[in-house]
């Protein structure tokens, strides 16, 4: 009997307490949090020196086998890239902003791409093609359908001191590092591209921060001795720089393989990358196969950025990294080619998100980039 009375009193007090809390606002209203896009899960961070990498895994995967990558297309001959104006190959497909012209109709900021194959070609901003009159990088993510006319391709130069030699380009199997990719993909500025190639990183250095592993003197020595034309590839493979990059990549890759080798029913489809305690970058793909294709050159690009930034030992939390899986809410602009692809960019404060959708055979987001802008 006593227990029954005590139970009734406790229930009455709980009800009164709950009603009072609701009446006076003591219990905050539940606000649902935005969920990450896609069927994605973050693994714990992998940390090496001043870089932290969070693998993004998924139990589902899109079929991306119908797309040809730039490296594979150039290697097989299904894709040809040449200087603008070479052998009268180019016919105008759309209006472009006028750019500086050189001999023979060649242009610093435009090349010609021909897709001779039977599959659409996937291009990512920051992919490097070497040769021609100067080495260049692709300026924007896009898809080039098969069987079309020669395409005027917008690019940025990453070899400032050369304007000579051949017309055709080959696969460099290189992705420029984030500071350079940002200037090409987001800021669309040739001068800033050149500056970031020379400096290594455009991330502002806080007062009192430790020096970068690759000093400005090492960059200068590499350009003076091994890369007089300021060729991106030669600078970052020069002895003064490249040895450090190779060792760094090996250190990260060993840890990455250990952390992802025991996955069951999931594939790695992307990464979120932090330098020191700052989450700065993410690349996520529609499939594990597509991620695997790009991973080696992406990892090298992240390593170069890490070595060019201060050697801060702070590490970010898993919650910090999860923010890079959420869709931004901000101004959006789009470009598209009907039935082929749609490109869109969303900006919010210091963050920028770029997505590339393939529209055939069905609509899928092939690549998603989110970055913390450095300027």
The two tokens of residue 140 are 């924007």
Q: Is residue 12 part of a domain?
A: no
Cα distances from 253 to residues 267, 317, 335, in angstroms, run 16, 21, 36
- Contact (CB, 8 A) for 310 and 211: yes
- The predicted structure's pLDDT at residue 38: 63
For residues 143 and 221, give the distance between their C-alpha atoms in angstroms, rounded to a whole number.
38
Q: Is residue 20 part of a domain?
A: no
For residues 54 and 301, give the distance between their C-alpha atoms in angstroms, rounded to a whole number.
16
- Contact (CB, 8 A) for 231 and 135: yes
- In the chain, how many domains are there? 1
DSSP state of 187: I
- Contact (CB, 8 A) for 129 and 70: yes
For residues 285 and 268, give the distance between their C-alpha atoms in angstroms, rounded to a whole number.
9
Q: Is residue 91 part of a domain?
A: yes
For residues 341 and 335, give the distance between their C-alpha atoms in angstroms, rounded to a whole number.
9
- The predicted structure's pLDDT at residue 207: 61
Q: Are strands 121-123 and 127-131 parallel, antiparallel or unpaired?
A: unpaired
Q: Is residue 118 part of a domain?
A: yes
- The predicted structure's pLDDT at residue 168: 79
pLDDT-flagged residues of the chain (< 70): 1-38, 86-106, 206-208
pTM of the model: 0.83
pLDDT digits (tens, 9 = 90+) for 308-318: 888 888 999 99
Q: What distance lies between CA 96 and its chain's CA centroid?
A: 25
Q: Is residue 186 part of a domain?
A: yes
- The predicted structure's pLDDT at residue 105: 58
Helices (H), the chain: 2-24, 70-76, 178-182, 190-199, 216-225, 232-237, 239-260, 288-308, 318-322
For residues 70 and 303, give the distance between their C-alpha atoms in angstroms, rounded to a whole number.
22
- The predicted structure's pLDDT at residue 371: 95
- The predicted structure's pLDDT at residue 286: 96
Q: What angle do CA 236, 238, 241 make, to 5 degrees?
A: 60
pLDDT digits (tens, 9 = 90+) for 136-189: 999 999 999 998 889 999 999 999 888 887 777 888 899 999 999 999 999 999
- The predicted structure's pLDDT at residue 10: 47
Range of the domain at 237: 41-203+214-372
- The residue to which tokens 């200068």 are assigned: 220
The two tokens of residue 359 are 């529209």
Cα four-point dihedral sign 268, 274, 277, 279: negative
Q: Is residue 174 part of a domain?
A: yes
- The predicted structure's pLDDT at residue 28: 40
Angle in degrees, 0-180, between the axes of helices 288-308 and 239-260, rounded to the nearest 10: 130
Q: Is residue 130 part of a domain?
A: yes
């Amino acid at each position: 009997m006593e227990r029954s009375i005590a139970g009734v009193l406790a229930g009455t007090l709980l009800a009164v307490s709950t009603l009072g809390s609701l009446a006076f606002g003591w219990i905050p209203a539940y606000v649902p949090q935005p969920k990450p896009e896609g069927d994605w899960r973050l693994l714990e961070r992998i940390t090496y020196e001043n870089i932290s990498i969070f693998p993004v895994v998924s139990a589902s995967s899109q079929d991306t086998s119908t797309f040809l990558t730039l490296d594979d297309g150039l290697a097989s001959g299904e894709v040809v890239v040449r200087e603008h104006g070479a052998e009268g190959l180019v016919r105008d497909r759309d209006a472009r902003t006028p750019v500086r012209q050189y001999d023979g109709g060649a242009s610093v900021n435009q090349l010609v791409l021909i897709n001779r194959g039977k599959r659409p070609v996937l291009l990512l901003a920051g992919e490097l093609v070497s040769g021609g009159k100067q080495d260049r990088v692709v300026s924007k993510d896009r898809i080039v359908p098969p069987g079309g006319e020669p395409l005027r391709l917008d690019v940025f130069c990453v070899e400032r001191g050369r304007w000579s030699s051949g017309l055709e380009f080959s696969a460099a199997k290189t992705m420029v590092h984030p500071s350079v990719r940002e200037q090409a993909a987001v800021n669309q500025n040739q001068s800033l591209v050149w500056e970031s190639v020379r400096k290594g990183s455009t991330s502002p250095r806080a007062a009192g921060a430790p020096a970068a592993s690759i000093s400005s003197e090492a960059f200068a020595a590499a350009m003076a001795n091994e890369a007089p034309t300021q060729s991106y590839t030669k600078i970052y493979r020069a002895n003064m720089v490249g040895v450090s990059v190779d060792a760094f990549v090996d250190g990260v890759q060993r840890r990455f393989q250990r952390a992802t080798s025991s996955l069951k029913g999931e594939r790695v489809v992307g990464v979120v990358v932090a330098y020191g305690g700052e989450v700065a970058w993410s690349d996520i793909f529609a499939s594990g196969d597509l991620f695997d294709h790009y991973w080696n050159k992406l990892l090298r690009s992240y390593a170069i950025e890490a070595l060019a930034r201060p050697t801060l030992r702070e590490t970010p939390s898993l919650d910090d990294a999860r923010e890079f899986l959420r869709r931004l809410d901000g101004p959006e602009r789009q470009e598209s080619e009907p039935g082929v692809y749609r490109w869109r960019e969303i900006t919010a404060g210091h963050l920028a998100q770029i997505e590339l959708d393939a529209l055939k055979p069905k609509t899928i987001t092939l690549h998603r980039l989110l970055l913390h802008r450095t300027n």
